[in-house]
Amino acid sequence: MVAFFNSFLSYLMLMAVIVAVAGAAIFIGITMRKKKNQAEPAVQAGAEHAEEK
């Protein structure tokens, strides 16, 4: 019975690590996308300005 609980807790800890890594990856991805979205209008404005010349 003790072996079962040790195995169960081991897998539970592994799942917690996987969830933490996935959460960090999602947070980083959202942050990077928000930065890219803020930079896009400036790049488009620069491209439009270059076409006018």
Give the whole-angstrom CA distance, residue 26 versus residue 21: 9
pLDDT, position 4: 93
- Positive or negative CA dihedral for 29, 34, 37, 38? negative
Smallest CA-to-CA distance from 31 within 23, 21, 42 is with 23
pLDDT, position 48: 64
Which letter does DSSP use for residue 49 in this model?
Answer: H
pLDDT, position 23: 98
How do the pLDDT tens digits run along the chain, 53 residues long? 999 999 999 999 999 999 999 999 999 999 999 999 999 887 776 666 666 65
